[in-house]
Structure 1
Amino acid sequence: MIYISLNYYLLVLAALVLYYVFPVRHRWVALLAANVVFYAFFYKAGIWIFLGTIIISYIDANVMAKLQDGARKATFIAGIILVTIPWLLIKNSNFVLEAIMKKDPINLVTPLGISFYTLQLIAYLADVYMEKIKPEKNIAKYILFTSFFPQVIQGPIPRFGQLHPQLTEGHLFDEKNFIKGFQLVIWGFFLKLVIADKAAVIVNTVFDNFPAYSGAYIWVASFLYSIQLYADFLACTTLARGVSRMFGIELVNNFKRPYFSTSIKDFWRRWHISLSEWLRDYIYIPLGGNRKGKTRKYINLVVTFLISGMWHGAGLKFLAWGLMHALYQIIGEFTYKAREKAYTFCGISADSNKKRWIKIAGTFLLVNFAWIIFRANSLGDGAKLLLHMFTDFNPWVLFNDRIFTLGLDWKEVVVLIVSVYILRKVGKYQEMGKSLGEKIYTQPLLIRWGIYIVAIICVLLFGTYGYGFDAQDFIYGGF
């Protein structure tokens, strides 16, 4: 729980003071010092693997920039292989040992965020190879880019051209940036402690004790898992963006209200945007994208989403989850005209809110079914969970207080429902192109700080700490 710990924010406070005390052109040194302290206290496991891949990518990029043609390409491929091998071995070796070779797993040191920083290094090498950027010659500045402490463990996955200049140029103190960063940190704590960790109690009870629960229990737990996963991941990237913004650094927005999506394709434009764009730019387009006919396009989609599944974890369930999203998009294209005719036949106009909400609901259900496979203990359990959602009929458990036996009492359930309602209202407000943070910032000082204080008190009172639960690790922290 690094990003919501007291020690982490003491580090942030010290780094902020140091950053704004240093001369502007040397402020990147303060960030680098903060990185060193961060890894010394929070990130010791696997640090040598992390540093090794950083140094390999640094050397490879600078050597590659001096070569041409075949030697350049060979150096690029060698660099990709060398920075990818640790991730492949650490993430997949135990799956191969257990599932394929039927041997006991081994304990491996896993650097936190290895899946995130591996993609960051691959993107850097690819951009140097394609001459989109020039390699960084200052190794200290390169280490700063690859190890920026607010985002390295759980993203978003940055591009060199977007993040590196912000880290090295230095920023003057800007009150608006600082306050907006503070707003994001409060919002991140609310998402994590009041929504994600509270929903996790019911989710864990049902999924970890299957098949004791079926029917309506699975429907409730699956919907809550969809909410938990979104709130949890949005929380960690929001905290990263909030802390970064206090330094005047703008990280990319990783989410754009994905559960307002009207199709699976739209969902992937809104969900984990930095990963979606990485997969598009470095897998889908190099494979040929949609430039070589529909059959090749569909093959490229399947390959891209299978790689996405592998990135999320080792095992058949992750491959199945990725394959489901590929098939959703392929089937969606095949059935598009038929679905449009069905809307017309039912008298639903093309630009009506009714059509939009039907598409949003349908997309959410498809995503939710895939999340069940993602969350289940195995692919087999996931398939059984989906089956028992439809074959076991017990809607009465929603009305006879049985729901309150899943780990949350009625008061906590009310808090969760109200919190999800707030999340939805904020999302709807943002869908209209408006910013709640901007609106709060323009209020008089007393009203503005009154809102901040009330928000902090609500997180303290209604978050998981308030009810005696242990805060859960960020879901994506294991990646």
Structure 2
Amino acid sequence: MLFNSLDFAVFLPIVFVLYWFVFKNSLRSQNFLIVIASYFFYGWWDWRFLALIVFSTLVDFIVGKQLDKVEDRHIRKCLLVFSILINIGFLGFFKYYNFFLDNFITAFTFMGMPIKANTLNIILPVGISFYTFQTMSYSIDVYRRKLVATKDLVAFSAFVSFFPQLVAGPIERASNLLPQFFERRKFDYLQAKDGLRQVLWGLFKKIVIADNCAEFANTIFNNSSDYGGSTLVLGAVFFTFQIYGDFSGYSDIAIGTSRLFGFNLMQNFAFPYFSRDIAEFWRRWHISLSTWFRDYLYIPLGGSKGSKGQQIRNIFIIFLVSGFWHGANWTFIVWGALNAIYFIPLLLFGTNRKNLETVAMDKKRPSLREFSSILGTFSLTVFAWIFFRAEDMSHALSYISGIFTTQLFQVPDFSVFPGALTLLLLIAGFLLVEWKGRFGQYAICRMQAIPSKARRWSIYFLIILIIDIFGNTSEEIEFIYFHF
């Protein structure tokens, strides 16, 4: 079920009414309703994979209880390894089986020992990369004694399957989300109104920015050999805003929807395209995944401690694993490696934590130096996204080689892409709103501070009007991160 679908527009009010009007006096009933609604929401794609999420939930629930009971270090470690192997095993089979098999066959063929093996027609379960990481973090935190295991299976199931963030995050920590299922929830009008505002902005990002950018990006990437350098750059820029509008738009809708039910999820994007270096970018992009890898991989590896060589090793490991997490393709691994290469000079010169505050604090516009840094970081990011979007390494390299031609300095032929100029103007307006709202949790969160109710509602209606006029509302387009 898509957030931008008629199905969800019917589903959400029904769950909302049941939650606040029918089961409002029973916390356990509300949690049970969330579990049923979440399974219905997830099963709308393919009911067969419900067994997978139920099994993953039961494994980590049981492992968590045992970790709390057992004191023997060896047994506790075995329990944790069991949980990790189950979760990584499912993820590895559904997401990476064919990748490893194909590369295994290629390697043996290269060495003159061709082998035959059949790949499997495996369907990737939606959201598996997200909820497996969420349940794994629970088991790891219980193992580390940072969290007490829950004995309430309904609450734990609700935590794992919570439908707003089930299929594409944010990847919530049990320490933040799970306790909220044990707290009495009362309807908060201001919180719900803020949630609706964030949902509206998320829909704008998805339907107006991402879906329109996707149309041009797909045309250019799928026919890259037909276009010159400047048009290929335009295609990469359109994809850059497609993936941001799509994924951050999903996060906004997920966080806003959660607030309708009295839950607070972590911020997943903090205006990353205004970053002044790649380290700041990764503190602001897909924050729930970046912090997950930091806490459960980077720090256990030694983090920023040890020699420079060890620090560089750790950076490469975390970025390569992050790339591989996104998909079973060498393009994702190269994308991760490229970001590591961007990061290394900052680490070597000790400037990776230089830009911790939001850009242009107490100023309306950035300085020339800040603007240059933002533009440089954005350009590096656009280049890296080419690998992320390309079908394979051959496509990525041919796309890049097509950019660096004499046609790079020509103006793209916009007559071939009707509507592209209009979209660029929409992106410019979108960036202006994001810039003005960069200190908030999302771009328009401070609109409540506008004293004039008429002015506030005029802006809301303007956003809805733009969605209606420029958005592709006739077609339900999947969120890009559903594939990861």
TM-score, normalized by the shorter chain, greater than 0.5: yes
Unaligned 5+ residue runs, structure 2?
107-116, 355-364
CA 1:297/1:445 → structure 2, altered by over 3 Å: closer, same or farther? same
Q: 1:160 to 1:202 in 2, by over 3 A?
A: same
1:454 pairs, out of 446, 451, 462, with 462
Name the counterpart of 1:76. 80
Distance in 2 (alpha carbons) for counterparts of 1:17 and 1:444: 30
RMSD: 2.2
Alignment map for 1:168-317 (pairs within 5 Å): 168-317=182-331
Normalised to the residue count of structure 2, the TM-score between the two structures is 0.89
> 1:311-460 to 2 correspondence within 5 Å?
311-334=325-348, 353-398=367-412, 402-406=413-417, 409=418, 412-432=419-439, 436-440=444-448, 442-460=450-468
* Structure 1: 4+ residue segments shifted above 6 A: none
Q: Give the residue type in structure 2 aligned to 1:95.
A: F
- C-alpha distance in structure 1 between counterparts of 2:380 and 2:141, whole Å: 35
User: CA offset at residue 143 of structure 1?
Assistant: 0.5
Q: CA deviation at 1:392?
A: 4.1
Which residue of 456, 459, 478 maps to 1:473? 478
Q: Does the 8 Å CA contact 2:437/2:446 hold for their aligned counterparts?
A: no
Could you state the TM-score of these two structures normalised by the residue count of structure 1? 0.90
Match of residue 5 from structure 1: 5
Partner of 1:346: none
Residue aligned with 2:414, SS: helix
Shift, 1:384, TM fit = 2.2
Match of 2:57 in 1: 54
| Distance (Å, rounded) in 2 between the aligned partners of 1:413 and 1:388 | 20
C-alpha separation in 2, matches of 1:158 and 1:432: 22
CA contact (8 A) 1:47 1:111 kept: no
Report SS of the residue matched to 1:305: helix
- Cα deviation digits, residues 279-330 of structure 1 (max 9, x gap): 0000000001111121101101111111101100012111111111111111
Partner of 2:361: none
- Does the CA-based 8 Å contact 2:298-2:314 persist in structure 1? yes
Letter in 1 for 2:40: V
Whichever residue aligns with residue 434 of structure 2, its letter is G
Query: How far does residue 184 in structure 1 lie from its aligned partner after superposition?
Result: 1.2
Question: Are the equivalent residues in 2 in contact too, given 1:166–1:249 (CA < 8 A)?
Answer: yes
> Counterpart of 2:128?
114
Instruction: Answer yes or no: is the 8 Å Cα contact 1:28–1:169 preserved in 2.
Output: no
Letter in 1 for 2:415: F
CA distance in 1: counterparts of 2:313 and 2:153, whole angstroms: 40
Distance apart, 1:135 and its partner CA: 1.0
Give the Å deviation of 1:58.
1.1
Matched pairs, number: 457
Counterparts of 1:327 and 1:82, CA distance in 2 = 33
CA deviation map 1:377-432 (0-9, x unaligned):
1112212222221134254342xxx23324xx1xx334422321222112211235
The whole-number CA distance in structure 2 between the counterparts of 1:9 and 1:304 is 38
